[in-house]
Structure 1
Amino acid sequence: MTVFLYVLGLVLFALGLLVSIAWHELGHLSTAKIFGIRVPQYMVGFGPTIWSRKKGETEYGFKAIPAGGYIRMIGMFPPGKDGRIEARSTSPWRSMIEDAREASFEELEPGDEDRLFYTRKPWKRVIVMFAGPFMNLVLAVVLFFGSAMAIGFEAQTTKVAGVTNCVIDQSEKRDACKPSDRPSPAKAAGLLKGDRIVAFDGERVSDWNTLSDRIRATTGPATLTVERDGKEVGLKATLLENKVLKKDADGNVVQPLQYVSAGYLGFESGREVVPLTFGQSADRMSQQLQAGVESVLALPGKIPALWDAAFGDGERKQDSPVGVVGAARISGELMTVDAPPQTILVWFMNLLVMFNVSLFLFNMLPLLPLDGGHIAGALWESVRRHAARIFKRPDPGPFDVAKLMPVAYVVAGVFVCFTLLVLVADVVNPVKLT
């Protein structure tokens, strides 16, 4: 059964990967067609074609290696000095092997002179190139909001999962009580496992963070209202001061562990799957995006540790970069975790969310052959042309992005090397769920 669930996780992630890639390329395809650019080919994957069908002027299909995708647009670059025009691809892999001036020149057909990518106004080209990454962002938002609001995340609640017998300094990291320990305020007040605290000192509380903050800010007498067997029961407690784990503004335990003196009641909070509100979902989604940006910026600094984990005896850290293979392995492990099905589903959806956020952020880098590189070229062309009009100079014409292809080859080479490094690390020393 475990093997079946693991394989199921791999298959589901592969399907999610293909949908994400196809959705990305659909953004390029749809906007290119809206602006009248001829698109001869729409492909998901690389390598040999395993299935394709031509509809209208575009060939749609799947290739053998599901590690990316591309659409082929006519006239990605302006003509060179010899006046030749070539068709190019949005795929970074194909950009490595296609010559910037001569490849696919034969694909031009009569009437294509008015359907070339480079002849479109810069703002239209920006939309076409931005549409791909934007589709990944849209998919990430839809998946996240859907799972967060319909199902939710496992979180601490105000339900009592257990009552401690005595007051123990949390920094001591022990469970057994000593004769010298003081009885816990919760036990003395008569709090029972299964109770749900609904009010503290007369004020209603519905979430753990609010209740925790109220408890930590209180020492001395306090009243508790608990829901027990369908009825509300009032309890009186005398909270004591104790050394407890320090938390940040979001209610998360600060790392590395620190301890502070605060009010102490003495019970273990229960954990339940709690749906988020729209506002909470938006806040957590913004945190995901911020974490994604920080991760992309931190990638160069993580390469030495990644190399040591792949080829040395270094530890593979939990925040280490992972590739498609590593993410697929994590997906397989998710399916074998002993947790409620709805929790596993949310974790899996969140994995796809992070994958699509990464695709969005990575493709927006202003480097060729990424989408962001073409966007940067179109924006620079717009700046040059506007400046020429302001200063009454001749129109400089389209910006020749092809001149940057040597840089694109270097960027693509670095990307390939990094991808191979991550692949080796994912195989020999993978990131594992804790």
Structure 2
Amino acid sequence: MEILLYIGGLLFVLVGLGVSIALHELGHLVPAKLFGVHVGQYMIGFGPRLFSKKIGETEYGVKALPIGGFISMSGMYPPSPGDQGDDGGRSRSRGAFRTLIQDARAANDETIDPERASRVFYLLPVWKRVIVMFGGPFMNLVLAVVTFTVLLSGIGLQQGTTTIASVSECVLPAGSTQTSCSASDPVAPAAQAGVKPGDRIVSVDGKVVSTFAEASAIIQASPGKALPLVVERDGSRLTLQLTPVAAQRQEADANGRAVVDDKGNAVMHTVGYAGVGAQLAYVQQPLSAGFDQAMANTGSVVQLIGNLPVRLWDVGVSLVTGTPRDPNGPLSVIGVGRIAGEVAAADAPLLNRFAVLLSLMGSLNIALFVFNLIPLLPLDGGHIVVALWDGLKRAWAKVAGRPKPKPVDATRLVPLTIVVAALLVGMGGLLLVADLFNPVSIG
């Protein structure tokens, strides 16, 4: 059964990734067709074609490797100049690069049908080209917002309620490995006050609370202080006296990671401790929570990409040394699939597992949204930059009273594009090997 659940988690990711890719390419396809561009192909995946069907002037199909997708638009770049064979001798000094550029131009020219010469991408106004190229990443953002909204507003966010689930019998020393109380251990404040499992906290120190987090914050801020604690038990309200004891707690940052000092030692601070545990429940959040979560994830992914070289170096070091990887670091599709399989097969309530899988898919779409907007060819962000540069040149020529410049020939950037593509392949290969031989552990 565990194996079937693991496979189910993998399939969930594969299907979710397929939907994400399909919608991404649809985000390019729809505005391209609305703006009159001839689109020859709409393909999900790369490699050998599994099946396809031509509808109208466009061939729709699926290929064997589900690692991306593409649409084939006519005239992504201007056609080759008529004097391309005469380069003033520059081809002798830059033969390899010149060949790459000419090959790219030839491939681009093949997409331009003389009968549809006016329906090419490069002739679109700048704002339309930006919309076409931004449409793909935008669909991933929309899918992420919808996913997070379903998760947070439909299912809810798992939170501690004001109903007590457990009461500790004693206070154990910090860092203790004891699993049971001894006669010498002091009685926990909640047990001493008479708190019982099933009690519902109404107020702490005169402040009405609606979540366990609110009650906990008051208790933690009051070590050694006697607090009136109002609880509801069997339909009646009781007022108890709770005096939290001072306890050492490790400090954590906004991301939940332990804070350490310059010497690597954990930073501790004193808090009040009562010895109670809360019942967990899914609490539905406002509809805006999905968008807020998507924006928070976007910020995290932007930060990760900004530190990508360092993160990849850390992945390589962990792969060689066998040390645990950063769970917040980059992953390949294999890594995401492994985590999904582990979550699906975990010993936890079905709703909890499904919620984590939804969160995983939302985060994956945010990663696709941000990564595709990196301003480098062959990514969508690179095409957007080319379009904006073309518009800037035209605007400057108009202001300066100069003749309208020729369209920007992005095929000149093919050598750089190949370098970027090679780096992306290398990054993918590193993450793939790391996810196979030193995967991220979710504990």
Q: Is the 8 A contact 2:202 2:210 kept in 1?
A: yes
Structure 2: distance between partners of 1:69 and 1:409 = 18
Structure 1: distance between partners of 2:102 and 2:5 = 42
Does residue 195 (structure 1) correspond to residue 199 (structure 2)? The answer is yes
Q: Is the 8 A contact 1:388 1:394 kept in 2?
A: yes
- Secondary structure in structure 1 of the residue aligned to 2:352: helix
Does residue 278 (structure 1) correspond to residue 287 (structure 2)? The answer is yes
For the structure 1 residues 172 and 385, does the alpha-carbon distance in structure 2 shift closer, same or farther, using more than 3 Å as the test?
A: same
Structure 2: distance between partners of 1:176 and 1:241 = 20
What is the CA-CA distance between 1:298 and the residue it aligns to? Answer: 1.9
Q: Is the 8 A contact 1:122 1:378 kept in 2?
A: yes
What is the CA-CA distance between 1:233 and the residue it aligns to? Answer: 3.0
After superposition, the C-alpha distances for 1:215-267 in whole angstroms (9 at most, x for unaligned) are 122242222222333443332223333333435578x5744453222333222
| Alignment counterpart, residue 150 of structure 1, candidates 145, 149, 154 | 154
| Alignment counterpart, residue 231 of structure 2, candidates 216, 226, 245 | 226
Structure 2: distance between partners of 1:131 and 1:39 = 15
Q: TM-score, structure 1 length as denominator?
A: 0.90
AA of the residue aligned to 2:384: I
AA of the residue aligned to 1:55: I
Structure 2: distance between partners of 1:185 and 1:265 = 5
What is the CA-CA distance between 1:359 and the residue it aligns to? Answer: 0.6
Range that drifts further, 281-290 or 35-44? 281-290
Query: 1:19-418 to 2 correspondence within 5 Å?
Result: 19-82=19-82, 99-103=103-107, 105-172=109-176, 174=178, 176-177=180-181, 181-218=185-222, 219-246=224-251, 252=256, 254-256=258-260, 257-418=266-427
After superposition, the C-alpha distances for 1:279-304 in whole angstroms (9 at most, x for unaligned) are 54444333212111111112210222
Query: How many equivalent residue pairs?
Result: 422
* Unmatched tracts of structure 1, length 5 or more: 85-95
After superposition, the C-alpha distances for 1:334-370 in whole angstroms (9 at most, x for unaligned) are 1101111111111111111111111111100000000
What is the CA-CA distance between 1:185 and the residue it aligns to? Answer: 2.1
Structure 2: distance between partners of 1:342 and 1:97 = 53
Structure 1: distance between partners of 2:125 and 2:234 = 69
Aligned partner of 2:89 in structure 1 is none
Structure 2: distance between partners of 1:107 and 1:7 = 41
Range that drifts further, 187-196 or 253-262? 253-262
- Secondary structure in structure 1 of the residue aligned to 2:104: coil
For the structure 1 residues 291 and 35, does the alpha-carbon distance in structure 2 shift closer, same or farther, using more than 3 Å as the test?
A: same
Structure 2: distance between partners of 1:206 and 1:280 = 19
- Secondary structure in structure 2 of the residue aligned to 1:44: strand
Q: Is the 8 A contact 2:73 2:111 kept in 1?
A: no
Range that drifts further, 289-298 or 261-270? 261-270
Structure 2: distance between partners of 1:325 and 1:255 = 31
What is the CA-CA distance between 1:184 and the residue it aligns to? Answer: 2.4
Aligned partner of 1:90 in structure 2 is none
- Secondary structure in structure 2 of the residue aligned to 1:220: coil
For the structure 1 residues 275 and 234, does the alpha-carbon distance in structure 2 shift closer, same or farther, using more than 3 Å as the test?
A: same
Range that drifts further, 325-334 or 301-310? 301-310
Structure 1: distance between partners of 2:287 and 2:308 = 31
Q: Is the 8 A contact 1:169 1:244 kept in 2?
A: no
Structure 1: distance between partners of 2:202 and 2:101 = 65
For the structure 1 residues 160 and 247, does the alpha-carbon distance in structure 2 shift closer, same or farther, using more than 3 Å as the test?
A: farther
Structure 1: distance between partners of 2:358 and 2:136 = 20
Q: Is the 8 A contact 1:164 1:267 kept in 2?
A: yes
After superposition, the C-alpha distances for 1:152-199 in whole angstroms (9 at most, x for unaligned) are 233333332222233445355655556555432211211012222132
Give % identity.
41
